[in-house]
Amino acid sequence: MPRQDRLLEIGNLQKHFPIRKGLWRREVGVVKAVDGVDLSIDKGRVLGLVGESGCGKTTTGRCILRAIEPTAGEIHFRMNGEFVDVAKLGLQKLRELRRHMQMIFQDPYASLNPRMTVKDIIGEPLVVNGLAKGRMLEDSVVELMKKVGLRPEYLRRYPHAFSGGQRQRIGIARALALNPSLIVCDESVSALDVSIQAQILNLLKDLQSEFGLTYLFIAHDLSVVRHISDNVAVMYIGKIAEVAETDTLFESPKHPYTEALLSAVPLPDPRAKLERILLSGETADPTDTSKGCYFHPRCAYSRSLCAVEMPKLRSVAGPGQEEHLVACHYAEDLSLKGIEAYTA
Amino acid sequence: MSKQNEPSSGNLGPQGTSEGTHVVRTYNDEERIYVASQWQLMWWKFRKHKLAVISGVALVLIYLLGVFCEFVAPYDPNFHNVRLVYAPPQRIRFVDHEGNFSWHPFVYKHKQQIHPVTLRRTYTEDQTKIYPIKLFVRGHSYKMWGLWQSNLHLFGVEDGGTVFLLGSDRLGRDLFSRILYGARISTSIGLFGVLLSFVLGVIIGGFSGYYGGAFDAVIQRIIEFIRSIPTIPLWMALSAALPPHWPPLRIYFGITIILSLIGWTGLARVVRSKFLSLREEDFVMAARLVGANEFRIVVRHMVPSFLSHIIASVTLSIPGMILGETSLSFLGLGLRAPIISWGVLLQEAQNIRTVALSPWLLLPGLMVIITVLCFNFLGDGLRDAADPYAR
């Protein structure tokens, strides 16, 4: 049973997509998009989930919400004070779960139905759950619009009247409507201009502290993740490579992949020496079932063991330190370079 | 959509408003665009497609003529006049042979001469007999829509004269009146046929796209099979199966069903592909995540998203139905006299003799061409306007 301040704890989450071929659509293999992920988030905290395109971040987020069905694994979520396994919920319970978990999408253009007014979009969660109607519905929607910084006069407008940033605010208001405890932000700022990204990030931060929200913040932009997250998990080809408290992870990474990712972060200091680690070779094929660490063909530190045995996610934190999990055989032996804390 | 509802500065189409040297954008104009629903945006975009608008108006006229054919037609379509067989169209004149102009249109009397050797009939104008064309004259009596008796006609001539605007056929029946009666049958068969295809297509295509899997695969193979059968032989076989003793009305519905049994496949594919693509849309997932049930997702999110596309493709598939009916009737396999449709009328123009000597009997074909073209232009305009949110 998970700890008491945990909101979400997932164990060995897997999602395999079948590859079908031929006239009879026979299954000829699987893509292991998520292949045994363990994660946990405490109440009121923000967990950043980073990794390159196609590493399974989004799939993990959608499995947690049961937007897609996980192949295997457990998703323990605290609902009304009790833990339930989201992966095994029946339809009835799932509808109840929807009120506790919401999602903010990446593309603010695709995620709003262009044929509905702002009032209908933000009000939909309230209407389908029978929480408000008529005058009360309008008041609640206006209240939500104010919370996310939209003018209430825009109530009857359609999404085509808004810019990307404003649309994302509408999406956030919709996610907040049911007063959820967990919000999965799936690349929620990556489709926006940099200046707008900052506004939306700050809005998300403000809302988090105001309502005590918990975020699973999926992104590929490390500076964005550093700005908002309490803890960061790094994912590589369906598996977790490293999890640590944000500053620890950025300053002293323990996994070679994390080091390579961090070396690509642009620094605001023009005199900073750039020592980019260029990964050679292709990312491993998630349909490939060969043994060994997925990262070893691209890893500068790989040794013979790496090609044979898949490393397990294990703790490398000393006694009294914050939790630090790494999936690397030689985590303790390597001295890897991070980025220094911002001195601003 | 009323006139005041329109924004004076449309940034929604390729043309915008070009009148005036400067375009003043007021707050109200912008607000009107911002709160415009999809149908308003579509209308603003559709309006810019001039050819489509004109075609739409023409189609409304053609359908109105079909609906009110008893009143508009000057003659009973089955009234024959043996003394005026294969009469050419009569010219409407405003100036008489002496050069006197009058605002009141009139026709000269048709005079028939029969060549003593070849027995060929020729017509000349008898310029001594003038028949003025009058509005709202009393003529043949008819039963309007089968409901009430009347003998009022929109126009006609009195005192035993004739007005054959488009000539007459081998029994001396007025072709103009017959084309109007034919319009009722030919254009409505397109509408009913498409309505039936629409229902079949949306239901079958919807289930196929929504559930996917084995059901979808079976439906798709059936559609491929139906589409691979050559249409004309299939129509011929099916209509040959209609019992010849059926009353005209039942034959009419039988032909409609035959046409739509083939027509639904195209629509089903459009609906299926829309369902497949919409199922993956973020806003559909968002609705599912807030707890909306499947019925609400289909009715509230998916159907409004593809309805306009379906209307456009329905419009584009009406001409196929009209052409189908015309071809079948022309070949003698569809509707048969005494039913009057454009295809039945064209049957009269099957031999070279009529085409050479009485070319006006081909005019029902011209009507078919005009109607089909109008539907195609209208469909093009609708299709272009169907997705006002395309970026």
Task: Answer yes or no: are the C-beta atoms of A338 and A264 closer than 8 Å.
Answer: no
- For residue B1, pLDDT over 80 is answered with no
- Is the same domain home to B134 and B236? no
Q: Which residues of chain A lie closer than 8 angstroms to B34, CB-CB?
A: 154, 157-158, 160-161
- Give the structural domain span for B107: 83-173
In a domain, B202, yes or no: yes
Q: Please, what is the average pLDDT of chain B?
A: 83
Q: Which residues have CB under 8 Å from A235's CB, separation 6+?
A: A37, A49, A50, A51, A55, A56, A57, A60, A241
In a domain, B7, yes or no: no
| Whole-number Å distance between alpha carbons of A195 and B79 | 80
Task: Answer yes or no: are the C-beta atoms of A147 and A176 closer than 8 Å.
Answer: yes
With CB atoms and an 8 Å threshold, state whether B290 touches A67: no
| Whole-number Å distance between alpha carbons of A145 and A119 | 9
- Is the same domain home to B263 and B336? yes
Q: Which residues of chain B lie closer than 8 angstroms to A115, CB-CB?
A: 37-38, 304-305
In a domain, B13, yes or no: no
- For residue B68, pLDDT over 60 is answered with yes
> Under DSSP, is residue B112 helix (H, G, I), strand (E, B) or coil?
strand
Q: What is the CATH number of the domain that holds B286?
A: 1.10.3720.10
Q: Which residues of chain A lie closer than 8 angstroms to B218, CB-CB?
A: none
In a domain, B310, yes or no: yes
| Whole-number Å distance between alpha carbons of A308 and B377 | 67
- Give the lowest-confidence range in A131-135, B128-132, B175-179: B128-132
Of B40, B127, B17, residue with least CA distance to B385: B40
- Is the same domain home to B278 and B206? yes
- Is the same domain home to B329 and B200? yes
Interface of B with A in 105-124 (CB under 8 A): none
Last residue of a domain, one of B140, B173, B206: B173
With CB atoms and an 8 Å threshold, state whether A103 touches B289: yes
- Is the same domain home to B155 and B300? no
Domain count, chain B: 2
- Return per-residue pLDDT of chain A as tens, 344 residues: 556 788 999 989 999 988 888 777 788 888 888 888 999 999 999 999 998 888 889 999 999 999 889 999 999 999 888 888 988 888 888 888 999 999 999 999 899 999 999 999 999 999 999 888 888 999 999 999 999 999 998 888 999 889 999 999 999 999 999 999 999 999 989 888 888 999 999 999 999 999 999 999 999 888 899 999 999 999 998 889 999 999 889 888 999 999 888 888 877 777 766 667 777 766 666 666 567 888 888 888 888 888 888 888 888 887 777 789 999 988 888 888 877 755 44
Q: Where are the alpha helices (DSSP H) in chain B?
A: 27-34, 38-47, 50-67, 69-72, 175-211, 213-228, 231-240, 248-279, 282-289, 294-296, 303-330, 342-347, 352-357, 363-385
> What six digits make up the tokens of B295?
């019925």
Tell the burial category of B152 from Cβ atoms under 10 Å away from its Cβ (0-12, 13-18, 19+): middle
**Gyration radius from chain B CA atoms:** 26
Give the model's pLDDT for residue A91. 85
In a domain, B143, yes or no: yes
- Is the same domain home to B308 and B233? yes
Task: Answer yes or no: are the C-beta atoms of B153 and B139 closer than 8 Å.
Answer: yes
In a domain, B47, yes or no: no
- Global pTM reads 0.79
- Is the same domain home to B280 and B229? yes
- Is the same domain home to B186 and B328? yes
| Whole-number Å distance between alpha carbons of B138 and B159 | 11
A151/B contact by beta carbon, under 8 A = no
Q: What is the mean pLDDT of residues B335-350?
A: 85
With CB atoms and an 8 Å threshold, state whether A114 touches B301: no
With CB atoms and an 8 Å threshold, state whether A110 touches B281: yes
In a domain, B128, yes or no: yes
Query: CA of B32: which chain A residue's CA is closest?
Result: A157
**Is the preceding omega at residue B319 within 30 degrees of 0, hence cis?**
no
Type of residue at A133: K
CA angle A217, A256, A323 (to 5 degrees): 55
Give the model's pLDDT for residue B102. 80
- For residue B149, pLDDT over 90 is answered with no
With CB atoms and an 8 Å threshold, state whether A157 touches B391: no
Give the best residue of A96, A121, A160, A168 to mutate against chain B (max B CB count within 10 A).
A160
A30/B contact by beta carbon, under 8 A = no
Give the model's pLDDT for residue B25. 57
- Is the same domain home to B376 and B250? yes
A283/B contact by beta carbon, under 8 A = no
- Is the same domain home to B142 and B212? no
Last residue of a domain, one of B127, B152, B173: B173
Query: CA of A178: which chain B residue's CA is closest?
Result: B290
Residue A278: how many other CB atoms lie within 10 Å = 8
Residue A281 to residues A81, A284, A301, A307, B69: CA-CA distances in angstroms?
Answer: 47, 9, 15, 15, 77
Tell the burial category of B292 from Cβ atoms under 10 Å away from its Cβ (0-12, 13-18, 19+): buried
Last residue of a domain, one of B124, B154, B173: B173
| Whole-number Å distance between alpha carbons of B321 and B316 | 10
A61/B contact by beta carbon, under 8 A = no
B304/A contact by beta carbon, under 8 A = yes
Q: Which residues of chain B lie closer than 8 angstroms to A124, CB-CB?
A: 287, 290, 292
Task: Answer yes or no: are the C-beta atoms of B59 and B322 closer than 8 Å.
Answer: no
With CB atoms and an 8 Å threshold, state whether B34 touches A157: yes
Give the model's pLDDT for residue B22. 52
Handedness of CA A127, A131, A134, A140 (dihedral sign): negative
Interface of A with B in 109-128 (CB under 8 A): 109-117, 124-125, 128
Tens digits of residue pLDDT in B358-389: 888 889 999 999 999 999 999 889 888 888 77
Give the model's pLDDT for residue B317. 85
Q: Which residues have CB under 8 Å from B161's CB, separation 6+?
A: B107, B109, B129, B131
Interface of B with A in 371-390 (CB under 8 A): 388-389
Better-predicted residue by pLDDT, B212 or B50: B50
Tell the burial category of A339 from Cβ atoms under 10 Å away from its Cβ (0-12, 13-18, 19+): middle
- Nearest by CB to B35, from A99, A128, A158: name it: A158
Type of residue at A78: R
With CB atoms and an 8 Å threshold, state whether A111 touches B292: no
With CB atoms and an 8 Å threshold, state whether B38 touches A103: no
In a domain, B236, yes or no: yes
- Is the same domain home to B205 and B162? no
- Is the same domain home to B346 and B198? yes
Give the ipTM. 0.87
| Whole-number Å distance between alpha carbons of A204 and A225 | 12
- For residue B19, pLDDT over 50 is answered with no
Q: Which residues of chain B lie closer than 8 angstroms to A166, CB-CB?
A: none
Of B313, B307, B311, residue with least CA distance to B278: B307
With CB atoms and an 8 Å threshold, state whether A161 touches B289: no
